[in-house]
């Protein structure tokens, strides 16, 4: 599990409308400065509000120390501010503490403490923590493995639109863990996450369309969703595009594109792509291979999730 500072900031922003009239204006100014990357302006405002006991400001200070934003990276300071906010019931800070203990980041790993903090936040309806609880039960990390319990927490987070939980729930349906195997349900939850730009979910959809699992087989749809995932650097999707272009599945047959995607996937550690690249090369001219290699060298992942075709 990885601490997501953006998720912590999101919950603080969502809760900022409840701030009192005196505190709201400086908090809003600090949040705006933080969002613009102006940490020098944001830091003293957050620190003043945190010293006055505002949990949201304390939680953001924790994030800033975690990431070294406007201050030297300092896990001890981050832990101090997270705990102050968490003790006031801030779910973002509670989730941060859960991740710190679960991963042993700057503290001895303590699965029980991690679980305790995740549960405090999850019981407040915080989707990030609910998803983390689901992951703990899914893996049996410090608790007895319990797929039914995992699916319960994934569903609670999924119902709030949390993409990581939606793909986790989709995978439960694909594998029949904690829920009956149901490819239609898997497609439903994969699509919801895919439409938020989650590459793993986009590839889930591609796989479903390529194999007719929960949807009618449609190679063009498989390519569409694979392309979106591949553009974000998802190597399995890149490998699939190599296969699709090499065989003309959902796209016109194009050995240059096939080689390119095999090359990109191989360069990012996907071993099966090496064999695919070799098979494509055996049917190509030297000029075609040179062109494909050039395209592969020039390829760069998209920095933001690609827009979803409707």
CA 254-224-200 angle, 5° bins: 115
**Range scoring the smallest mean pLDDT among 23-32, 131-140, 203-212, 291-300:** 23-32
Q: What is the CATH number of domain 198-310?
A: 1.25.40.10
For residues 73-101, give the mean pLDDT. Answer: 94
Q: Which two tokens stand for residue 115?
A: 């679980």
Q: Do domains 1-117 and 198-310 have the same CATH topology?
A: yes
Q: Which two tokens stand for residue 195?
A: 């439409």
Using the predicted structure, report yes or no on whether residue 283 has a pLDDT greater than 50.
yes
Q: How many CA atoms lie within 13 A of 222 on its CB side?
A: 26
Q: Quote the CA–CA distance of 21 and 252 in Å, as a whole number.
A: 61
CATH topology of domain 1-117: 1.25.40
**Residue 292: per-residue pLDDT:** 98
Using the predicted structure, report yes or no on whether residue 304 has a pLDDT greater than 60.
no
Q: Which two tokens stand for residue 222?
A: 């498989």
Give the burial string for 272-308 (b: 16+ CB within 10 Å, else e).
ebeebbebbbeebeeebbebbbebbeebeeeeebeee
In the chain, where the domains are located: 1-117, 125-181, 198-310
How sure is the predictor about 26, in pLDDT bands with cuts at 50, 70 and 90? confident
**Residue 295: per-residue pLDDT:** 98
pLDDT in tens, 37-47: 999 999 999 99
How sure is the predictor about 303, in pLDDT bands with cuts at 50, 70 and 90? low
Residue with the two structure tokens 């779910």: 91
**Range scoring the smallest mean pLDDT among 103-107, 158-162, 238-242:** 103-107
Using the predicted structure, report yes or no on whether residue 24 has a pLDDT greater than 90.
no
Using the predicted structure, report yes or no on whether residue 2 has a pLDDT greater than 90.
no
What is the overall mean pLDDT for the chain?
91
Class of domain 125-181: mainly alpha
Q: Quote the CA–CA distance of 217 and 222 in Å, as a whole number.
A: 9
For residues 187-201, give the mean pLDDT. Answer: 97
**Range scoring the smallest mean pLDDT among 41-55, 105-119, 150-164, 286-300:** 105-119
The model's pTM is 0.87
**Residue 106: per-residue pLDDT:** 83
Using the predicted structure, report yes or no on whether residue 87 has a pLDDT greater than 80.
yes
């Amino acid at each position: 599990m990885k601490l997501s500072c953006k998720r912590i900031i999101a919950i603080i922003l969502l809760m900022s409308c409840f701030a009192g009239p005196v505190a709201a204006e400086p908090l809003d100014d600090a949040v705006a400065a933080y969002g613009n990357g102006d940490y020098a302006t944001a830091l003293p405002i957050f620190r003043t509000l945190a010293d006055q006991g505002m949990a949201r400001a304390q939680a953001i200070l924790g994030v800033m120390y975690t990431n070294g934003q406007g201050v030297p990276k300092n896990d001890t300071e981050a832990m101090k501010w997270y705990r102050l906010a968490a003790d006031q019931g801030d779910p973002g800070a509670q989730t941060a503490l859960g991740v710190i203990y679960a991963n042993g980041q700057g503290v001895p790993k303590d699965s029980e403490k991690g679980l305790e903090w995740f549960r405090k936040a999850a019981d407040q309806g915080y989707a990030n923590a609910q998803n983390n609880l689901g992951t703990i039960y899914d893996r049996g990390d410090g608790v007895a493995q319990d797929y039914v319990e995992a699916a319960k927490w994934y569903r609670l987070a999924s119902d709030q639109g949390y993409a990581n939980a939606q793909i986790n729930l989709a995978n439960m349906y694909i594998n029949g863990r904690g829920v009956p195997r149901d490819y239609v349900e898997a497609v439903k939850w994969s699509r919801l996450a895919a439409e938020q730009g989650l590459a793993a979910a986009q590839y889930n959809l591609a796989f479903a369309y390529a194999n007719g699992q929960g949807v009618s087989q449609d190679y063009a749809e498989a390519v569409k969703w694979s392309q979106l995932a591949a553009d974000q650097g998802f190597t399995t999707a890149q490998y699939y595009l190599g296969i699709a272009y090499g065989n003309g599945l959902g796209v016109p047959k194009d050995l240059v594109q096939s080689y390119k995607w095999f090359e990109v996937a191989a360069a990012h550690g996907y071993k099966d792509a090496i064999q695919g690249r070799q098979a494509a090369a055996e049917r190509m001219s030297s000029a075609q291979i040179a062109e494909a290699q050039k395209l592969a060298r020039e390829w760069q992942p998209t920095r933001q999730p690609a827009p979803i075709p409707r």
